[in-house]
Structure 1
Amino acid sequence: MRTIDLRGKSLAPADMLAVVPRAAQARAEALATAAQIVDDVRTAGESALRDQAERFDHVVGHAIRVPAEHLAEALESVDPEVRTALENAIGRVRRGSAAQVPAAHITELGPGARIIQRWQPVGRAGVYIPGGKAPLASSVVMNVVPAQVAGVGSIALASPPQAGHGGRVHPTILAAAALLGIDEVYAIGGAGAIGALAYGVAGLGLDPVDVVSGPGNNYVASAKRAVAGAVGTDSEAGATEILVVADDTADPDLVAADLVSQAEHDEQASAVLVTDSVELADRVADAVARRASDTLHAQRVAAALAGPQSAIVLVDDRGMAEAFSNAYAPEHLELHIAGAAEAAERFTSAGAVFVGDQTPVSLGDYMAGSNHVLPTGGQARYAAGLGAYTFLRPQQVIEYDHAALDQVREGVIALSAAEILPAHGEAVQARFAERSVRVDRR
């Protein structure tokens, strides 16, 4: 891991943004490629999907629409311990997601004048589940449960066909889908899956969705940007990121373990340590090197740690660490610092904040009850992670009776005249003309 030394520097917010480690070139290249893949699916449908499956997944002749028997077989054969863990995760995420559905609220502005604030679920959602380097069955839970809690009536799931499983979606992913009652599943991977969900594929009976969600690599994240406007999307949950803020009280081996745990996702994964302790930085670097060489995906981890997106950042003090973290806006933020619980409120920009050394990101990936589909690439400065609210549309319902309208009539007329839009005022005035027959049609 490279070292970025910010000690002794006074950085304005724009300067801080400029020094955060990013793989900017990789993201730019992914956007151009993903946009072309999405357009191919939009114009050529199933033909494009089969070409992409052969090129990227090394699969031909597979059933793109997953037959019901594949789901049933996967659920029947799943390891009992895995099934129990999935069921536990489902219950926890369901409870965590329930808090994200607001109750309807009525604002009484006066007699006969009220606004009803309500949240309507979208009619149909499409969820993408990665399955390339890792079959993320946990992502089935993280995407489907919030949609169900929100009240979405129709959910389609897409995940890559697996050459090692005869062109089927990975069986653990299918088992998780079956546990949640999802029977519309497609063996489609990557950016092509995002395009298929967004635009539909008539030949497969795949209807367009209203919202697309789900994590993936930078190509999947870029594909969401390509379909934005045609459908709603969650934040761009691209290649994973972890930023650990640590001081001299931290355990260097635990910090190293957590950095490596996220680096194993993908060669584009970001692992960043921010600390004001040179001694800790050195000890973490040694521990990372040791763990990285011993882990199963050592080659993948090494590539991620050596990339421009990973670094050890040296800062002067806690305040500078906070400023750097908020500028970086990581997907996952871990606080290995004294007084972490009290300090957490000052770390305002992160997809999720993991407080203390007993709350690793791995917990959030599976069993915390929080959601692991989170914004990457700095989007946590303005975007939220996946939740039930992703599938809800806030909507206002306005109800005024004749007397209440009369109370604001002159105001509407005055403002419409000021904006040189007189017909607006006339539309209100028409309701008070003598010839108007006023009938309350509520």
Structure 2
Amino acid sequence: MRVVLVTYGSRGDVEPMAGLAVRLRALGAEVRVCAPPDFAELLDGVGVPLTPLGWPIRALATGAIPDKAKAGLAGIAAELTAMAYEAVTGAAGDRAAVVATGSFPAVAGARAAAEKLGVPYVFTSLSPSYLPSSHHAPRPWPGQVIPEGVTGNRELWALDAEHKDALFGETINRHRVSVGLPPVDGIRDHVFTGRPFLATDPVLGPWQETPELDVTQTGAWIRPDERPLPADLEAFLAAGEKPVYVGFGSMPMRGASAQEISRAVIEAVRARGRRVLLGSGWADLTAIDDRDDCFVVGEVNQQALFGRVAAVVHHGGAGTTATAARAGAPQVIVPQVADQPYWAGRVTELGIGTGHDGPTPTAESLSAALKIALAPQTGARAAVVAGTVRTDGADRAAKLLLGLTGSAG
């Protein structure tokens, strides 16, 4: 059996697919991943072929592709839908299953490809907050206006569906007709289907049953990482007390320059009497002086690292949140976009850290948040929650997917 895994997004969207791919291969499936070309090395590292999908995601996210910035949302969505369709039809066969997450237009293209090929399709959400439910409200899209007096969750989700129709419906239906498929009404529900997977841990990101959807919560899809930490990082860790890790992953920070953010986070950690370990990432964090209490790393094995730090300050991606929680590391989440405010809220509710107020930290605001994260009771609570986080989500999802065709070979 062949399984085609599709995503267009940052590393946080690709890592879960890599985790699922590893388990599918272990169970005898043939796997292809359609993802941004940025992640060829990551997927090569787990022995999974990459079918490049779309433009390099970092270049697109940072505005380094000028003609795409000029194209606007509609133009990018139209191209991305078509590119995802072509990638999936090229990677799949007549005996395959398609699993998709990430950017909505890309997922719509994957859905159309599966429909055209007549193969099973599974939409997967990496956060409960994306899925329609009477138990929570959607996050408004940029530019979306909520009419005064509309406060009920079902009403808000109905508006969310209307907004997605307005943003993407015409574009996606035009593509569907161009490949010989009929147009559809209610594009969001068509793409999500009535039976999506939810790849989150039941403790960190629980799902409450709702009449709107029949959701299968598998647990988070984790890629085991056995890489050793670099020798110079090991030396820094051994040279003193546990540092505070600060890194914002595949997320350019808003509201300040890289130098300003770097100064703010370093001064905040120092104000708490701690050493600081910076993950440079897309925020381009860097040292502000030559003091030996600060060390800068690039991409690193966070599974090996987070159990050895005093706290983790990050952007609130689902994967980073889960990795820190598994390690028992208290967290400060500085949410920027998408589901990141949801994870900041969950960390706060669970008592394993706190959310920062706003996307742009200052030395004073981050120091105040770190006071909460570094409190003994937060560390004790984080250690308790760490023991409850499941690690078998990818295995469960892989077995369910192989069952779609009744074969694991």
TM over 0.5: no
TM normalised by structure 1 equals 0.29
TM normalised by structure 2 equals 0.31
